Amino acid sequence: MERAERFWAEALERSRHALGSGNLVPLETELIPPQGWEPFQLRRLLSATPKHLRAQGPKPNPFRPWDPQLQVCLLGRRHLLLLNKYPVQAGHVLLITQGYEPQSGWLKGGDWSAVARVDADTSGLWFFNSCAEAGASQPHRHLQLLPRHGDQVACPLDRLVRAQLAGVGRHWPWAYKLSPRKPGDGAEALAATYHAHALSLGLGDPGSDPRPLHPYNLIFTDHWFLTVRRVREHVAGFSVNALGFAGYLLLSERSELAWLQREGPWALLQAVAARG
Protein backbone atom coordinates (compact mmCIF):
# COMPACT_ATOMS: atom_id res chain seq x y z
CA MET A 1 0.00 0.00 0.00
CA GLU A 2 1.59 3.25 -1.19
CA ARG A 3 1.14 6.22 1.12
CA ALA A 4 1.68 9.92 0.48
CA GLU A 5 3.40 10.38 3.89
CA ARG A 6 2.35 14.02 4.07
CA PHE A 7 1.98 13.87 7.85
CA TRP A 8 5.50 12.48 8.18
CA ALA A 9 6.93 15.19 5.91
CA GLU A 10 5.12 17.88 7.93
CA ALA A 11 6.40 16.36 11.18
CA LEU A 12 9.99 16.48 9.90
CA GLU A 13 9.58 20.09 8.76
CA ARG A 14 8.02 21.10 12.07
CA SER A 15 10.87 19.28 13.87
CA ARG A 16 13.48 21.43 12.14
CA HIS A 17 11.83 24.60 13.41
CA ALA A 18 11.23 23.19 16.91
CA LEU A 19 14.86 22.10 17.20
CA GLY A 20 16.01 25.58 16.31
CA SER A 21 13.77 27.16 18.93
CA GLY A 22 14.66 24.65 21.63
CA ASN A 23 11.10 23.32 21.89
CA LEU A 24 12.19 19.85 20.79
CA VAL A 25 14.61 17.87 22.95
CA PRO A 26 15.62 14.61 21.21
CA LEU A 27 16.87 11.88 23.50
CA GLU A 28 20.59 11.32 22.99
CA THR A 29 21.36 7.60 23.14
CA GLU A 30 23.93 5.07 21.99
CA LEU A 31 23.30 1.53 20.84
CA ILE A 32 24.96 -1.04 23.10
CA PRO A 33 26.46 -3.94 21.13
CA PRO A 34 24.45 -7.15 21.59
CA GLN A 35 25.53 -9.33 24.49
CA GLY A 36 23.23 -12.27 23.96
CA TRP A 37 19.97 -10.32 23.90
CA GLU A 38 19.35 -10.33 20.14
CA PRO A 39 17.04 -9.44 18.46
CA PHE A 40 16.33 -6.80 21.13
CA GLN A 41 17.97 -3.41 20.78
CA LEU A 42 19.34 -1.86 23.98
CA ARG A 43 20.23 1.81 23.95
CA ARG A 44 21.99 3.73 26.70
CA LEU A 45 20.50 7.11 27.58
CA LEU A 46 23.26 9.73 27.33
CA SER A 47 21.27 12.93 27.80
CA ALA A 48 19.73 14.03 31.08
CA THR A 49 16.88 11.81 32.14
CA PRO A 50 13.69 13.54 30.95
CA LYS A 51 10.98 14.29 33.48
CA HIS A 52 8.70 11.55 32.20
CA LEU A 53 11.34 8.90 33.06
CA ARG A 54 12.10 10.17 36.56
CA ALA A 55 10.59 9.09 39.87
CA GLN A 56 6.82 8.86 39.86
CA GLY A 57 4.77 11.71 41.28
CA PRO A 58 2.07 14.25 40.42
CA LYS A 59 2.61 15.63 36.94
CA PRO A 60 1.11 18.57 35.08
CA ASN A 61 -0.64 18.02 31.77
CA PRO A 62 1.67 19.27 28.97
CA PHE A 63 -1.12 18.94 26.39
CA ARG A 64 -3.51 21.40 28.01
CA PRO A 65 -2.70 23.61 26.33
CA TRP A 66 -0.29 21.93 23.94
CA ASP A 67 2.81 23.68 22.67
CA PRO A 68 1.90 25.27 19.31
CA GLN A 69 5.55 24.97 18.25
CA LEU A 70 5.12 21.18 18.34
CA GLN A 71 1.77 21.04 16.51
CA VAL A 72 1.92 19.13 13.23
CA CYS A 73 -1.74 19.43 12.24
CA LEU A 74 -5.30 19.38 13.54
CA LEU A 75 -7.38 16.30 12.79
CA GLY A 76 -10.89 17.70 12.85
CA ARG A 77 -12.14 19.23 16.09
CA ARG A 78 -11.23 16.47 18.54
CA HIS A 79 -7.71 15.24 17.75
CA LEU A 80 -4.36 16.52 16.51
CA LEU A 81 -0.86 15.35 15.69
CA LEU A 82 1.84 16.72 17.95
CA LEU A 83 5.60 16.20 17.94
CA ASN A 84 6.85 14.22 20.91
CA LYS A 85 8.94 16.73 22.86
CA TYR A 86 11.45 13.96 23.68
CA PRO A 87 11.51 11.98 20.42
CA VAL A 88 13.25 8.64 20.07
CA GLN A 89 13.55 9.19 16.29
CA ALA A 90 12.92 11.98 13.80
CA GLY A 91 9.22 12.37 13.09
CA HIS A 92 8.08 10.72 16.35
CA VAL A 93 4.53 12.00 16.78
CA LEU A 94 1.71 11.80 19.28
CA LEU A 95 -1.94 11.59 18.36
CA ILE A 96 -3.73 13.38 21.21
CA THR A 97 -7.26 14.51 22.00
CA GLN A 98 -7.73 18.28 21.85
CA GLY A 99 -9.93 18.21 24.94
CA TYR A 100 -8.97 16.25 28.00
CA GLU A 101 -9.65 12.51 27.89
CA PRO A 102 -7.98 10.20 30.42
CA GLN A 103 -5.16 7.97 29.23
CA SER A 104 -6.51 5.34 31.61
CA GLY A 105 -9.95 5.28 29.95
CA TRP A 106 -11.06 3.16 27.01
CA LEU A 107 -10.05 4.21 23.51
CA LYS A 108 -13.20 5.25 21.67
CA GLY A 109 -14.49 5.18 18.12
CA GLY A 110 -13.29 8.73 17.50
CA ASP A 111 -9.77 7.79 18.58
CA TRP A 112 -9.71 4.92 16.10
CA SER A 113 -11.07 7.16 13.34
CA ALA A 114 -8.20 9.57 13.96
CA VAL A 115 -5.69 6.70 13.93
CA ALA A 116 -7.12 5.42 10.65
CA ARG A 117 -6.92 8.87 9.09
CA VAL A 118 -3.23 9.21 9.95
CA ASP A 119 -2.49 5.58 9.08
CA ALA A 120 -3.93 5.98 5.59
CA ASP A 121 -1.25 8.61 4.90
CA THR A 122 1.66 7.75 7.21
CA SER A 123 2.06 4.36 8.84
CA GLY A 124 4.65 2.71 11.02
CA LEU A 125 4.86 1.39 14.55
CA TRP A 126 1.89 2.56 16.62
CA PHE A 127 1.86 2.10 20.39
CA PHE A 128 -0.25 2.98 23.41
CA ASN A 129 0.47 2.81 27.14
CA SER A 130 -2.81 2.64 29.03
CA CYS A 131 -1.68 4.16 32.34
CA ALA A 132 1.40 4.71 34.52
CA GLU A 133 1.67 0.99 35.33
CA ALA A 134 1.92 0.31 31.59
CA GLY A 135 4.53 3.01 30.99
CA ALA A 136 2.38 6.09 30.30
CA SER A 137 4.09 9.31 31.32
CA GLN A 138 1.14 11.67 30.89
CA PRO A 139 -2.52 11.45 32.02
CA HIS A 140 -3.91 13.02 28.81
CA ARG A 141 -4.89 10.53 26.09
CA HIS A 142 -2.24 10.00 23.46
CA LEU A 143 -1.19 7.27 21.06
CA GLN A 144 2.31 7.35 19.59
CA LEU A 145 3.60 6.69 16.08
CA LEU A 146 7.14 5.96 14.90
CA PRO A 147 6.77 6.37 11.11
CA ARG A 148 8.15 3.73 8.78
CA HIS A 149 8.39 3.52 5.00
CA GLY A 150 6.65 0.52 3.49
CA ASP A 151 9.87 -1.46 2.99
CA GLN A 152 11.23 -0.83 6.50
CA VAL A 153 11.13 -3.38 9.33
CA ALA A 154 8.69 -2.04 11.90
CA CYS A 155 10.62 -3.11 15.02
CA PRO A 156 13.20 -5.64 16.29
CA LEU A 157 10.57 -8.27 17.17
CA ASP A 158 8.61 -7.91 13.92
CA ARG A 159 9.96 -11.16 12.44
CA LEU A 160 9.09 -13.14 15.58
CA VAL A 161 5.59 -11.66 15.70
CA ARG A 162 4.97 -12.54 12.07
CA ALA A 163 6.28 -16.07 12.70
CA GLN A 164 3.69 -16.50 15.42
CA LEU A 165 0.93 -15.40 13.05
CA ALA A 166 2.21 -17.93 10.51
CA GLY A 167 2.01 -20.67 13.13
CA VAL A 168 5.77 -21.34 13.26
CA GLY A 169 6.89 -19.09 16.12
CA ARG A 170 7.04 -19.80 19.83
CA HIS A 171 4.37 -18.32 22.06
CA TRP A 172 5.29 -16.05 24.95
CA PRO A 173 4.55 -16.96 28.58
CA TRP A 174 2.63 -13.79 29.42
CA ALA A 175 -0.93 -12.63 28.85
CA TYR A 176 -1.23 -11.23 25.35
CA LYS A 177 -3.40 -11.38 22.27
CA LEU A 178 -2.06 -11.16 18.73
CA SER A 179 -4.11 -10.76 15.56
CA PRO A 180 -3.22 -10.23 11.90
CA ARG A 181 -3.97 -6.88 10.35
CA LYS A 182 -4.42 -6.01 6.71
CA PRO A 183 -2.83 -2.79 5.38
CA GLY A 184 -5.53 -0.18 5.14
CA ASP A 185 -7.78 -1.67 7.81
CA GLY A 186 -9.93 1.23 8.90
CA ALA A 187 -11.38 2.47 12.16
CA GLU A 188 -14.05 -0.21 12.44
CA ALA A 189 -11.59 -3.08 12.02
CA LEU A 190 -9.15 -1.52 14.50
CA ALA A 191 -11.89 -0.92 17.06
CA ALA A 192 -13.21 -4.46 16.64
CA THR A 193 -9.76 -5.98 17.23
CA TYR A 194 -9.22 -3.74 20.27
CA HIS A 195 -12.60 -4.79 21.69
CA ALA A 196 -11.97 -8.50 21.09
CA HIS A 197 -8.51 -8.35 22.68
CA ALA A 198 -9.84 -6.54 25.75
CA LEU A 199 -12.46 -9.21 26.33
CA SER A 200 -10.01 -12.07 25.71
CA LEU A 201 -7.43 -10.69 28.19
CA GLY A 202 -9.93 -9.89 30.93
CA LEU A 203 -9.36 -6.15 30.60
CA GLY A 204 -13.11 -5.60 30.60
CA ASP A 205 -15.70 -4.65 28.01
CA PRO A 206 -15.06 -1.30 26.29
CA GLY A 207 -18.77 -1.14 25.55
CA SER A 208 -20.02 -1.45 29.10
CA ASP A 209 -17.28 -1.24 31.74
CA PRO A 210 -16.53 2.34 32.83
CA ARG A 211 -12.76 1.83 32.59
CA PRO A 212 -10.24 -0.97 31.94
CA LEU A 213 -9.76 -3.39 34.80
CA HIS A 214 -6.01 -3.84 34.27
CA PRO A 215 -3.06 -1.95 32.72
CA TYR A 216 -2.17 -2.87 29.14
CA ASN A 217 -0.11 -1.95 26.09
CA LEU A 218 -1.07 -1.83 22.42
CA ILE A 219 1.45 -2.19 19.58
CA PHE A 220 0.32 -2.42 15.96
CA THR A 221 1.63 -2.13 12.43
CA ASP A 222 0.28 -2.72 8.93
CA HIS A 223 0.52 -6.46 9.52
CA TRP A 224 -0.31 -7.19 13.15
CA PHE A 225 -2.05 -5.92 16.28
CA LEU A 226 -0.71 -6.90 19.72
CA THR A 227 -2.22 -6.29 23.16
CA VAL A 228 -0.30 -7.12 26.36
CA ARG A 229 -1.75 -7.16 29.86
CA ARG A 230 0.59 -5.56 32.41
CA VAL A 231 1.15 -5.79 36.15
CA ARG A 232 3.96 -3.27 36.73
CA GLU A 233 5.95 -0.58 34.94
CA HIS A 234 9.53 -1.46 35.85
CA VAL A 235 11.90 -4.11 37.12
CA ALA A 236 15.63 -3.94 37.93
CA GLY A 237 15.54 -0.21 37.22
CA PHE A 238 14.30 -0.69 33.63
CA SER A 239 11.17 1.29 32.75
CA VAL A 240 9.19 -0.73 30.21
CA ASN A 241 6.42 0.67 28.06
CA ALA A 242 4.87 -0.77 24.90
CA LEU A 243 8.16 -0.39 23.00
CA GLY A 244 9.70 -3.08 25.20
CA PHE A 245 7.30 -5.61 23.67
CA ALA A 246 8.40 -4.38 20.24
CA GLY A 247 12.04 -5.12 21.12
CA TYR A 248 13.32 -1.67 22.18
CA LEU A 249 14.90 -1.33 25.65
CA LEU A 250 16.43 1.75 27.29
CA LEU A 251 19.27 1.71 29.80
CA SER A 252 19.06 4.71 32.14
CA GLU A 253 21.13 5.64 35.17
CA ARG A 254 18.78 3.53 37.34
CA SER A 255 18.91 0.40 35.20
CA GLU A 256 20.82 -2.70 36.34
CA LEU A 257 22.73 -3.84 33.27
CA ALA A 258 24.15 -6.82 35.18
CA TRP A 259 20.60 -8.03 35.84
CA LEU A 260 19.75 -7.87 32.13
CA GLN A 261 22.98 -9.65 31.20
CA ARG A 262 22.18 -12.40 33.70
CA GLU A 263 18.42 -12.82 33.21
CA GLY A 264 17.93 -11.64 29.62
CA PRO A 265 15.27 -9.43 27.99
CA TRP A 266 12.58 -12.11 27.88
CA ALA A 267 12.71 -12.36 31.67
CA LEU A 268 12.40 -8.57 31.84
CA LEU A 269 9.19 -8.62 29.82
CA GLN A 270 7.83 -11.58 31.75
CA ALA A 271 8.41 -9.69 35.02
CA VAL A 272 6.31 -6.69 33.99
CA ALA A 273 3.53 -8.52 32.12
CA ALA A 274 0.67 -10.55 33.58
CA ARG A 275 1.09 -14.31 33.54
CA GLY A 276 -0.37 -16.06 30.55
Give 191-234 pLDDT, tens digit per residue. 999 999 999 999 999 999 999 999 999 999 999 999 999 999 99
Helix (H, G, I), strand (E, B) or coil at 251: strand
Q: For 191-242, give the secondary structure using H, E and C.
A: HHHHHHHHHHCCCCCCCCCCCCCCCEEEEECCCEEEEEEECCCEECCEECCH
Please give the pLDDT value at position 48: 72
Q: What percent of the chain has pLDDT over 90?
A: 91
CB atoms within 10 A of CB 47: 11
User: Cis peptide before 39, with omega less than 30 degrees from 0?
Assistant: yes
6-29+63-231 CATH: 3.30.428.70
pLDDT tens digits, one per residue of 227-261: 999 999 999 999 999 999 999 999 999 999 999 99
Domain boundaries, the chain: 6-29+63-231
- What is the pLDDT confidence band of residue 58, given thresholds at 50, 70 and 90? very low
State in Å, rounded, how far the first CA of the chain is from the last one. Answer: 35
Average pLDDT over residues 166-183: 94
What is the rounded distance in angstroms from the CA atom of residue 150 to the CA atom of residue 14?
22
Please give the pLDDT value at position 51: 57
- Lay out the sheet containing 29-31: strands in order across: 29-31, 41-45, 248-251
Please give the pLDDT value at position 100: 96
The mean of the pLDDT values for the chain is 94
Please give the pLDDT value at position 50: 59
- What is the pLDDT confidence band of residue 59, given thresholds at 50, 70 and 90? low
Average pLDDT over residues 132-153: 95
What is the rounded distance in angstroms from the CA atom of residue 143 to the CA atom of residue 136?
10
